[in-house]
Amino acid sequence: MAHSSLTEEQKSNASSLFKMIDTDRDGLITKEQAFQAWKLLGYEPNEQVSEELKSNTYGINLQKYLEVLALCMNQTSFEDRIRHIFRIIAGTQGNTISKRQLQNALSMVTIDLTDDMFLDLFEQMANDDDEEITYEDFLAFLRQNGDYIFY
């Protein structure tokens, strides 16, 4: 199937995330880990994605991860992704993202930030001294920084 729509930068960002998720460094991540990562990146992996991964019973290697990521990207618009991500982090009933929710979201994809790094990120996203991130904050932050976060 090989969609090669990822730019070099997207590939390199995605590879970094893959390595973070592959904590035991055997070059493979589980399907569950991959699905969590994709969902948190705003994709809703569909049946075609599940079909692609059916034969990968021992895990997903980087090449497969990138292939399916490209497939996910082709299926979802930027705006849709932002909405999905916000909903996943804030919860279906939530209008804002709290510190704890952002922390949970990052740990879902096994991203470990130092306390200082986390607070810095949160404050940037919450737009200075707010205690919560609104959808508008979130959208504004990702419009400015999306290139680094979206892959």
Min separation Cβ 135 and Ca ion, Å: 34
Q: Pinpoint the alpha helices (H) of the chain.
A: 8-21, 31-40, 47-53, 62-75, 78-90, 99-108, 115-126, 135-149
Out of 14, 17, 22, 45, name the contact with Ca ion by CB under 5 A.
Answer: 22
Residue of closest CB approach to Ca ion? 22
Give me the residues paired with residue 133 across strands.
Answer: 97
Region binding Ca ion by CB under 5 A among candidate stretches 16-24, 34-42, 70-78, 106-114: 16-24
Min separation Cβ 59 and Ca ion, Å: 6
* Residues shown for the chain: 151
Min separation Cβ 21 and Ca ion, Å: 8
Nearer to Ca ion, 22 or 137 (CB): 22
d(CA 112, CA 17): 12
Q: Which of residues 25-44 bind Ca ion (CB under 5 A)?
A: 26, 28
Size of the site for Ca ion (CB under 5 A): 4
Region binding Ca ion by CB under 5 A among candidate stretches 17-25, 62-70, 78-86, 97-105: 17-25
d(CA 90, CA 133): 9
- Tell me the three state secondary structure of residue 67: helix
Out of 1, 4, 8, 24, name the contact with Ca ion by CB under 5 A.
Answer: 24
d(CA 104, CA 65): 23
**Tally: H helices and E strands in the chain:** 8, 2
Question: Site residues (CB under 5 A) for Ca ion?
Answer: 22, 24, 26, 28
